Amino acid sequence: VLSLTFRTFDVLISGFLELGNWHQVGAYVGINIGTDVSDLPSALEIVAILKAHQITHVRLFDADARMLTALSNTSIEVMVGVTNYEVLGIGESPSTAAAWINKNVAAYLPSTNITAIAVGSEVLSSIPNAAPVLVPAMNYLHKALVASNLNFQVKVSTSQTMDVIPKPFPPSTATFNSTWNSTIYQILQFLKNTNSFYMLNAYPYYGYTNGNGIFPIDYALFRPLSSIKQIVDPNTLFHYNSMFDAMVDATYYSIAAFNFSEIPIVVTETGWPWQGGANEPDATVENAETYNNNLIRRILNDSGPPSQPNIPINTYIYELFNEDQRTGPLSEKNWGLLFTNGSAVYSLNLASTGRVTSNSSVVFCIAKEGADSSKLQAGLNWACSQSQVNCSAIQVGGACYDPDTYENHASYAYNDYYQKMHSVGGTCDFDGTATTTTNNPSYGSCIFTGSVNSTSTGTPPPSSFTFGPISPPSGGTPPCFRVDTTHIVGLLIFLALVLP
């Protein structure tokens, strides 16, 4: 009975944690990393570039072992991909799916922060013959995650293009292509059952260039529209300030047409090419710079589209590097934000994509990079022992538990203590292992509270902060309060039931 109680409450608490993962406060902008590049940097060099630009979320189109290894101990959230070639085999064999999870996910967790699996890329439109096995593949992969107790950390979904919605405007009347009704219904049912999200590839570039002048280019580039060019849904009277928002809303309405709700949308691809051929006049540096900078500002305002204003639109830009080996028109080779030496194709504020923002009036207290592990552990233990400090976020399953390192956990505990105690004399020192910063160390659903800096004297805080972990000492005692609280709750309920 005791074991059953533990398991029951593990499931209940984990379910609440799981649900919270997709209703987090604050949106993020991630980056797709394509590999059709003739001079692709090494995995370690790519990760160094990601760190330099403070990119906190990446999507890989496969499960490259070198990249997954290089991303370990970085705290960067990783979406891995099942290639279209692999979908058929996985969709026909649960054992193949289990082997894929063991090799490409379980082998790297928890040091590599894998949080999602994209099963294929635009399968319905690119390899429609694989449609019958797409949902079975998703199910088999999810069941393999369940068997490994990883399903609460790693979500399974599949990306779809806007092509599966034949008439996306007006959004309120949009529906999926009836050809795919059965498959899409199964996909939505799977996403609902597993608390996952719909992956959407939304490209206003194509919406505009294939639109025969129906919409102005300002609408595609997030530029303000004049009063006589306002885009309004005649049925809802919602105003759409960008084609991007209209595409996302068209997808929400299409999902609702199947009587599904509360399935959030994550835009897994969007962007704008910066160079094209003679017949691609809109693929310019100016337009690409405008689109992506406006996109970042749009996403980080934490609002959703008109029909779902309270659901932020987490988004991945396509893409990190120019894939010069891709076939097709010249524009296909020039979606990259960076050249392979790490320099920018055009001016872009990538440092804000992971919600790592600088505000000179707001101060945080964090662990110093490279601080002695034993001192960090001591400081962490002391901070968590103070009655005013709440360390629940760095417990197992907490929003700030991963990455599971002294530096990460100490930063959260130090900051929580400092924000609550600095007004009455509390300092950010912790035996020399802490420092103040104006760069927000929040990431994903892990939110650090800041405080207004009332003084401007003294040593200025560091100008940048790389939120990277360090390895705990070999054989050392783990940081404090690593108690599984769900088991405590289960025990208390059990005792209440069985004791007189």
Q: Residue 436 is inside which H or E element, if any?
A: strand 434-437
Is residue 396 within 8 A of residue 149, CB to CB? The reply is: no
Helix (H) or strand (E) holding 438, with range, is: none
Amino acid (one-letter) located at 24:
Q
The total of other beta-carbon atoms located within 10 Å of residue 185's CB is: 15
Between CA 400 and CA 313, with CA 189 as vertex, the angle to 5 degrees is 45
Ordered alpha helix ranges (H), 72-180: 84-92, 94-101, 123-126, 131-147
Helix, strand, or coil (residue 156): strand
Cross-strand partners of 321:
338
List, as own/partner pairs, every contact residues 217-222 make where C-beta atoms lie below 8 angstroms and the sequence separation is at least 24, other chains included: 217/282, 217/287, 219/243, 220/291, 221/272, 221/287, 221/290, 221/291, 221/294, 222/290, 222/291, 222/294, 222/295, 222/297, 222/298
Please count the CA atoms within 13 angstroms of the CA of 91 that sit on its side-chain side.
Answer: 21
460 CB neighbour count, 10 Å cutoff: 10
* Residues designated catalytic: 122, 269
CA separation for the pair 237, 242 (Å, rounded): 15
